[in-house]
Structure 1
Amino acid sequence: MTSVDTVTISGTILAFDFGLKRIGVAVGNTLIRQAQPLSIINAPSNDGKFEVIARLIQEWQPALCVVGLPMHQDGVAHEMTVRCQRFANQLHGRYGVKIALVDERYSSAVLHAKQGERIDDQAAAVILQQYFDQT
């Protein structure tokens, strides 16, 4: 994975909230710096998920992909941390896109009120907005 120099990133950014069952996707751009939920990928297989991702990357031509990185509250990595890092590496390897990982520990608190709904795309938007707010 390449490191990202946020000064040189310009254009569309796709963000992913990776999950084993679903992947939330959000979109934004470096000009207006506002994230919007885009879609929820709910394919039954990894190949199916990556087919959808390939179409999104072809359609949106992102300058950067942001992936949420879950951690325990104390900052310690866990199993999903490793899986999200692997997912980010696969995005970079398959599509040659630049990747930024964003700590998503507090994104679920923002969406806590919507429990029970499928909010994966909204979680991706929170992750992307955190990226915009930090850069």
Structure 2
Amino acid sequence: MTAPSETPSTFPPAGRLLGIDYGTKRVGVAIATPDRTIASPLEIYQRRNEQLDARYFKTVIEDYRPCGIVVGLPVHVSGAEGESAQGARRYGKWLGELSGLPVEFWDERYTSSVAEDYLLGADMTRQQRKKRIDMVAAQIMLQSYLNFHRPPASLTELAADVDADDETSEEE
């Protein structure tokens, strides 16, 4: 799962991000911690109509106060965009206009497969997996985005972590 482009982030340097796994019937929603280290599944929204969809997302944005939205882009294995990707781009544009927040798109290849494997490992029934897969896919996509944009640890920080681990081992 890599960035669809190498453009730098348009989001402010800190604050929550909302992750969206777009679908024509359901939308998986995930939220990042304010420090952008962890993405968590939030819920699955059953799409109804534009007015009710707008009300739902306005409420989520009011409740969680994200500073940006990351929309999963379902590109083909080759990286080419098809009809689904165009639908996700239209939906992302609509969310940006609705919320006034910046929107970025992120490659979501294989997120549903990874989510399915994760939920299979949790020993859930098919019906339980179906209820959760979109929000887990949104979480996986958003976590991929966060990991890619996390600044690399400095060598000093890495050395301090190793020293702390060594001291802990000696005490045991």
1:127 corresponds, among 141, 144, 147, to 141
2:156: which partner in 1?
none
Structure 1 residue 44, shift from structure 2 partner: 2.3
Give TM-score scaled by structure 2 length: 0.71
The answer on whether the counterparts of 1:10 and 1:30 sit within 8 Å (CA) in structure 2 is: yes
8 Å contact kept, 2:27–2:47: no
Aligned residue for 2:112? Answer: 108
29-38 or 91-100, which deviates more: 29-38
Larger Rg: 2
- Write the distance in 2 (CA, Å) between the matches of 1:93 and 1:129: 24
Q: 1:5 to 1:45 in 2, by over 3 A?
A: closer
Report if aligned partners of 1:108, 1:123 keep a CA contact under 8 Å in 2. yes
SS of 2:28 mapped into structure 1: strand
Question: d(CA) in 1 for partners of 2:70 and 2:110?
Answer: 16
Q: Residue 35 of structure 1 corresponds to which residue in structure 2?
A: 39
> What percentage of aligned pairs have identical amino acids?
30
Task: Check conservation: 1:9, 1:30, Cα contact below 8 A.
Answer: no
In structure 2, distance between residues paired with 1:86 and 1:43: 15
Counterpart contact for 2:75–2:107, Cα < 8 Å: yes
- Greater RCO, 1 or 2 (C-alpha within 8 Å, sep 6+): 1
Shift of 1:21: 0.4
- In structure 2, the residue matched to 1:98 is 102
The Cα RMSD (Å) is 1.7
Residue-by-residue CA offset, 1:42-88 (whole Å, 9 max, x unaligned): 14223222211110011111111110000111011111100100011
* Separation in structure 2 between the aligned mates of residue 4 and residue 124 of structure 1, nearest angstrom: 19
Question: AA paired with 1:5?
Answer: T
Where structure 1 has 5 or more consecutive residues not aligned to the other structure, the ranges are none
**Structure having the larger proportion of residues in helix:** 2
Unaligned runs of 5+ in 2: 1-7, 121-125, 150-172
Matched residue pairs, number? Answer: 132
1:74-131 CA-to-partner distances (Å, cap 9, x unmatched) read 0111111001000111111111101111000121231232474221111110111010
The residue correspondences of 1:33-112 to structure 2 (distance < 5 A) are 33-112=37-116
Distance in 1 between residues matched to 2:76 and 2:55, nearest whole Å: 31
| Letter of the structure 2 residue corresponding to residue 108 of structure 1 | S
Distance 1:58 1:15 in 2: 15
**Which shifted more, 92-101 or 39-48?**
39-48
Give the Cα separation in 1 of the matches to 2:141 and 2:9: 16
